[in-house]
Chain A
């Protein structure tokens, strides 16, 4: 008997800190069980640069610049199920704490008026750099998101529970101790 085809997972970090990816790796030896069921497509773990057709997209971080929007849309176009992982993906998180300030005033302060800057310091304008968005947004404000795993970062056990619920076709639920926003 042949094993059922493995599900494909893609992962990425947008305006995040990679903490949620670290938490994913924190499932430790359960990674071996997971790898029986899934294989990784685009991900910082594989270094594949673009996402093919996938079953699950796992995204940490919110949307803070134009490149984040492109990557998020690529994931939505290719992944059957999209999961927003962690506080930043869910409500913008720490990067969104700039949202009550105007973008020009932030750039001005960071690159022109704050103390300790090198002489002649200027706002970076290399065309390679993605343009920052006016506001940082959580993923669900840009594309449809199917599931959410809250936490900063979510614990390995919370990620494991939700992935297992989804792989088993159950509605993901996090009981007391697994559900955290901090």
Chain B
């Protein structure tokens, strides 16, 4: 059977699997934010960057090959991952104590795992108005990390194309595909895959906030590194 090594440990894989998929199957945690097992990988957040035979690559898009030497849990890579997280925190408005996703949030849980004690950089404090137009769901863009999971879920699973990215570089932002730009004017519903894949606290169900108290949520109970499937809670 084909195998590669990940931080010295032998990992077997099936043909066609990525390094991320093989690692997940072997129960090894590689930090990730834009990967979801049910969706096509996008390779954009770069949290899952590993060294493959000495060169950096995104493990969620890199095909596993026999004999590869992969490094992941090294201080060099974890320092870079922490810097990426810090940039994500300062580019948005992440006030965890008042966020419904707190404790279930993969950005926060990954930052805990990587010992992010401070966002380090200067904060942008952007102005990003909410979209509360939909009867059942609220969009709080302040916390969007542009992972595109909702876009891929809506396009590839729900067949609805509700979300898209607009703008370039630092101006990139999430938009709703409707002439009004409002979620209420799309076919979005709570049964959509797109309603359940956001790794942070943007796409929120109304009238269900704080049912589970802070301190009793998924990542309060176990760390994200203890192998949780993304989106599982």
Given contacts A94-B95, A94-B97, whether A84 and B118 have CB atoms under 8 Å apart is: yes
Residues of A within 8 A of B222 (CB): 176
> Binding site of B, secondary structure by majority: helix, strand, loop or mixed?
loop
Distance in angstroms from B113 CB to nearest chain A CB is 8
Residues of A within 8 A of B119 (CB): 90-91, 138
Question: In the bound complex, how far is the Cα of B125 from the Cα of A99, in angstroms?
Answer: 6
Contact with B117, one of A148, A177, A182 (Cβ below 8 angstroms): A148
**A residues 129-182 with Cβ under 8 Å of B?**
135, 137-138, 140-141, 145, 147-150, 152, 172-174, 176-177, 179-182
**A residues 108-137 with Cβ under 8 Å of B?**
135, 137
User: Residue-by-residue, is B95-138 near A (CB-CB < 8 Å gives 1, otherwise 0)?
Assistant: 11111001100001001100101111011011110000000000
Question: In the bound complex, how far is the Cα of B97 from the Cα of A93, in angstroms?
Answer: 8
Distance in angstroms from B191 CB to nearest chain A CB is 29
**B residues 198-229 with Cβ under 8 Å of A?**
214, 220, 222-223
Question: In the bound complex, how far is the Cα of B93 from the Cα of A176, in angstroms?
Answer: 24
The size of the chain B interface, using a CB distance under 8 A, is: 28
Distance in angstroms from B173 CB to nearest chain A CB is 15
Question: In the bound complex, how far is the Cα of B128 from the Cα of A150, in angstroms?
Answer: 25
Question: In the bound complex, how far is the Cα of B89 from the Cα of A79, in angstroms?
Answer: 28
> Binding site of A, secondary structure by majority: helix, strand, loop or mixed?
loop
Residue of A nearest to B126 (CB): A100
Please tell me if B193 contacts chain A, counting CB pairs below 8 Å: no
Question: In the bound complex, how far is the Cα of B99 from the Cα of A145, in angstroms?
Answer: 26
Given contacts A96-B95, A140-B120, whether A174 and B115 have CB atoms under 8 Å apart is: yes
Q: Is the CB of B115 within 8 A of A91?
A: no
Q: Which residues of B contact A (CB under 8 A)?
A: 89, 93-99, 102-103, 108, 111-112, 115, 117-120, 122-123, 125-128, 214, 220, 222-223
Q: Which 6 A-B pairs have the closest CB atoms?
A: A181-B96, A99-B125, A100-B127, A152-B97, A148-B118, A148-B117
